[in-house]
Structure formats: C-alpha cells, structure tokens
Structure 1
Amino acid sequence: MAEPYNCTKCQESLFGLKYILKEEKPYCIKCYEELFSSTCEVCQELIGCTSKDLSYKDRHWHSECFLCTKCSRSLVEKPFSTKDKLLICTDCYSNEYSAKCHDCLKTIMPGSKKMEHKGNSWHENCFSCNRCQQPIGTRSFVQKDTHNYCLPCYEKQFAMQCVHCKKPITTGGVNYRDQPWHKECFVCIGCKQQLAGQRFTSRDDFAYCLVCFCNLFAKKCAYCTTPISGLGGSKYISFEQRQWHNDCFNCKKCSVSLVGRGFLTCKEDILCPDCGQDV
C-alpha cells in the first residue's frame, strides 16, 4: 500500500485533497499558489491554479483583467499592442498612435507596410506617381507641389530640355541666353572644356573659353606676340594697325614706358623722344 502524500512545504497530509506536482514534488493548492503563482499586473492579486494565466514579456494577467486600457474590451485571443507598458487593442492604437496616410487620410494599421518621406507617411499602394498612378515603391522619385512623380513622368511633365542634346535636365544645369543646358553640354566650341563656373565669352552665338577666344580672335601684341584679350577691363595701346599690352608699350632702346607719353616710330620700333633724337 502506497504511503499517503504530504505537502512538500507545510507537510500537511494530502489524503483526499487536490494537490499539484511540481518537479515530482507534491504541494497543496495554498502552498503552490504562494510559492509559484504570478501576480496579476492589473489587480495585483495572485493568479490561482483555477484561473487562466495570460503572460506577455514576463508580465502576467488574469484573463478577466487582460483588457484594452482605452476601451476596456477583452484582449483574450485578439491582436493587441502596447504603449508605455499599457495594453491597447489594435483599433484604439491605430486611432491614437498610428500614422495617417498622406494621400487617403486613413490610418496605416500596425504591421502593414508604409512608405515615409519628409515626415509624411503613405500606404504602400497610395504612394504612387501623380501622373501615371503607378506605385513608386523603392524607385527614385521627385516631389513637386506636394505631389510625387516617378522620374520618367517628372521629366515628361516638368523638366526642361537641354538645347544641345535635347534630353531632360533633372539635376540642375546652366542658363545661357535664356536657354537651358546640361553643364556637361555647355562647353567651349574650341577645346570642349566645360564652361560652367568659369569666365567665357562668345562670338557668332558660339561660346569660347578665354584661352580659345584669344588664340582665335584676339589681336597679337606687336612686342610679345601673345594675344591681347581686352576682356575684364584690361588696357592696351593701338597705333597704326598695331596693338601692344600696356606693359609692353616701352621704348625700344631705354625700355621706359611710353603709356600716356609722346613717342616716335622708327621702322617697326617705338622710341621715347630722347632716344628718337639720336636716330
């Protein structure tokens, strides 16, 4: 005949009483609840053996205490969220905390995919091109006047076309004579160097960098033979179809500057009056 069980803690006989085995050790109901039962988060009372223990992240509730903090509806076997450790049904959470779609103004339910840009949120299907109505997803897009456009639609509807290559300008360009250019298309007609950000000039509607313009069109200094650009306010001397840089307009013999002074000519040379008397 088997020996009667005694409660492991209080040693009271369990004969004819309900008891619970834990790790093969018997406990009376009272001792088991004192030792092992959890405390309910809401009512702070023990969750007895005869009650259903609902747990979430090491926290416990009676089933009758497992309620939405906002509307008090039961959350047993229903989806829920938490805010500051408080239980909230998905409806209340959505109404109070979930983002609203910038397009349809409806709540973006927790767990559903949403798109975000500059502080605004959209349902995935609402985040679409304002022109073709196709979802943008993760493709590149442009925002204009609070509307979103995929790049092909934006280029067709808004982007200016480069005068040179006839393709849309989407990332900034150059305006020259009231016409738009890609900066990589706006180049010197001579050396093909980009002109954006540097000084240039034009002739016959063609743009030239200063070096090419001077080499092609500027008059040559009669002394040093390099071009006289005349650009940017630089001064030069002109006499009988010949030109000199100011710094080059000197007496051939004594090298004194003749700018603003009288001078004489001897064949191809220019001389100061003093040196000219010796000729």
Structure 2
Amino acid sequence: MPLSYEIYSAKHSKNDQTKMTTAQFDCQYCTASLLGKKYVLKDDNAYCVSCYDRIFSNYCEECKEPIESDSKDLCYKQKHWHEGCFKCTKCKHSLVEKPFAAKDERLLCTECYSNECSSKCFKCKRTIMPGSRKMEFKGNYWHETCFVCELCLQPIGTKPLISKENGNYCLPCFEKKFAHYCNFCNKVISSGGIMFHDQQWHRECFLCSGCRKELCEEEFMSKDDYPFCMDCYNHLYAKRCAACTKPITGLRGAKFICFQDRQWHSECFNCGKCAISLVGEGFLTQSTEIFCRKCGSGVDTDI
C-alpha cells in the first residue's frame, strides 16, 4: 500500500483577516522559518522537508536508504520500499500494481512463485498454478484435466479408481483390461484374492467345501480339487493312525508309515512291547501289533 505525503508551500495572503505571527510558520523541529518554503504537516505540526525526512522517513527494505517525502513509500506488512525498489526477488521485475506472493520473507511475482513453490503435475510436468484446481493421489499432484483414465482418457475426478504401474484406471476400464473373476461368485476381483488350482477366488469366497468356513487365514487340504478345512478333511477323508487313531494329514512335511492297509504317524511307529521306534528298522507283526525283532522273536508273528 503506497504512503503519500502532502507538501505545502507557505505564504501570506493579502486577504487574510487574522494576523499571524511568524512563529506559526516555523519548523517544529529546527524552528527555521517556513515562509516561502515547502513544508510537511504531521499531527498538525509543520516541519521543513529536511527535518521531516530526517525524523520520520521509513527506510527501504531493499536499498536501506530513507524514503524521502518526495518519493512514493510502498508498504507491505509494516515494511517499506521505494517504488523503484519494490521488485521480485528472483527475476527483479517491478511488482508495483501487480499481484505478488511472499515466501520466507521474499517477495515473488506470481510466475516465479509458481515455478519455485507450486506443485508440478505428475502427468504433464508443468506447474499447477495457484488458485487452479488440482487432484492429489498417493502423494502426487495432477491438473484436473490431466488426471484421466489411461484407457478411456476420461477425467477421473473423485470417482473410484484402481492404480496400476502404468497409470490409473476407472473401474469399468480396469475390469475390461485387467480384472480376474472369482471362481465362486463370478464377480470381479479388484484386489487381493486367493489362487487355488489356477483359479481365483475373493478371499471371502474361498470356503471349505464341507462346512463353508472361510479358509483365507486357515490351513486346508484338497480333495478332488475341492478345498476342505482340516476338521472336515480329517472327518471325511483322512486315514487314521493304527496306534493313536488320530488323523494322518502329512501337513508341513510330516512323515508317516504305510504297511499293507494300515498307516502310522512316524512317531507312533513303535514296538508294541518295548516301545522302541521301528522307523527304518526291521519289524514283525502279529494281528494288529508290531514288534521289533528282539521282542517278536518269542511271539508267533505273521512275518
């Protein structure tokens, strides 16, 4: 905002009806007569130009020189500049009667401010000018007209979208180009999902074929290409250990022993008399019992 001063020239008028003393036309500071000279009024007191400049002048932020009464004083946020010193800090173009912005106590024209401080469009790499609408997504910015679907090129705006490495897509275009369909509900899988036997399921659609329990966070077994939770698989299909009668699943690489039509957990395949492990050892059988060779030597065995 420019500050202006009124400078007057003092003289007697022949038509004055009131006689004035010469003291009324003396400088308030140096007391020199102001008759016939220019002076400045401040708070109803008159000052010669020299005294006024020395006492009251503001100092220019740019050149640090006083802004004298015959110069324009441009003021912004209680700081002052000569008219010729009021320039963009970067390009040095005058800011008088032009829009400008301040950053870190520096004055910048709108173009320099935009180049230095404004966001750059992720698509076209050009500056997003202050006051224009911009879109933000995953920490990047776009012009509204640049934030478009990679396939149909229509503006996405605030509509739902799905992001891929090569760009952003509106939902219809993403489904057309990339989407997989759930083997259970036949609806689009937009994210995540479960792969089983080269087929995909929504996580919430991947269920036990027996009890319909969700399996996405559970251990499961497969039978005839159908998934089953462990409880259902053990109940319906798992073979039982001939020693402990618990299911044999083979999960996590667990080993088991088969002999004729019977199975044992590896840790259950022990001599029925001395309980020594028979894994990797010769053994003898009698009816449903198994024995090490030493214990089975006095027993009528099948082998």
Aligned-pair Cα RMSD in Å: 3.4
Deviation at 1:76, TM superposition (A): 1.7
What corresponds to 2:255 in structure 1? 234
Contact 1:247-1:257 within 8 A present in 2 as well: no
| SS of equivalent to 1:175 | strand
1:28 aligns with 2:48: yes
CA contact (8 A) 2:25 2:46 kept: yes
CA 69–228 in structure 1, closer or farther in 2 if over 3 Å, else same = closer
Distance 1:45 1:130 in 2: 58
Deviations for 1:110-155, whole angstroms, at most 9, x for unmatched residues? 3323334566532223222233444334455333344222345434
Deviations 1:63-101 (A, max 9, x none): 233234555543221112346655433234445664443
Q: Larger deviation: 172-181 or 14-23?
A: 14-23
User: Residue 178 of structure 1 aligns with which residue?
Assistant: 198
Per-residue deviation, residues 154-194 of structure 1 (Å, max 9, x unmatched): 34432222222222223322222222222332232234444
Please state how far the C-alpha of 1:2 moved relative to its aligned partner: 5.3
**Residue 161 (str. 1) matches residue 181 (str. 2):** yes
Equivalent of 1:195 in 188, 207, 215:
215
Give the residue type in structure 2 aligned to 1:273: G
Mind listing any 5+ residue stretches in structure 2 that lack a counterpart?
1-18
TM-score (norm 1): 0.78
| Alignment check: 8 A CA contact 1:264 1:276 kept | no
Q: Quick check: 2:119–2:127 contact (8 Å CA) kept in 1?
A: yes
* Distance in structure 1 (CA, Å) of the matches to 2:181 and 2:32: 95
Partner amino acid for 1:276? V
2: CA distance, partners of 1:256 / 1:92:
88
2:155 alignment partner AA? P
Q: Aligned runs of 1:97-108 on 2, under 5 Å? A: 98-108=118-128
Report the equivalent of 2:161.
Answer: 141
Q: Which residue of 2 aligns with 1:273?
A: 296
Choose the corresponding residue for 1:256, options 275, 283, 289: 275
Measured after TM superposition, the shift of residue 42 of structure 1 is: 3.4
Task: Call closer, same or farther: CA 1:58–1:136 in 2, change over 3 Å.
Answer: farther
**Separation in 2, partners of 1:127, 1:155:** 19
SS in structure 2 of the partner of residue 33 of structure 1: helix
Q: Is the 8 A contact 1:220 1:228 kept in 2?
A: yes
SS in 2 for 1:184: helix
Q: 2:205 is paired with a residue of what secondary structure?
A: coil
Counterpart for residue 81 of structure 1: 101
- Are the counterparts in 2 of residues 237 and 246 from structure 1 also a CA contact under 8 Å? no
TM superposition score normalised by structure 2: 0.73
Q: Determine what percentage of the aligned residue pairs are the same residue.
A: 50
2 CA distance for matches of 1:236 and 1:110?
76
The residue that corresponds to 1:217 in the other structure is 237
- Any idea what the Cα deviations from partners look like across 1:13-61, whole Å, max 9, x if unmatched? 3445443333344333222222222122334332222322112233322
Q: Distance in 2 between matches of 1:263 and 1:178?
A: 45
Which sits farther off after the overlay, 31-40 or 128-137?
128-137
Name segments (4+ residues, structure 1) moved above 6 Å. Answer: none
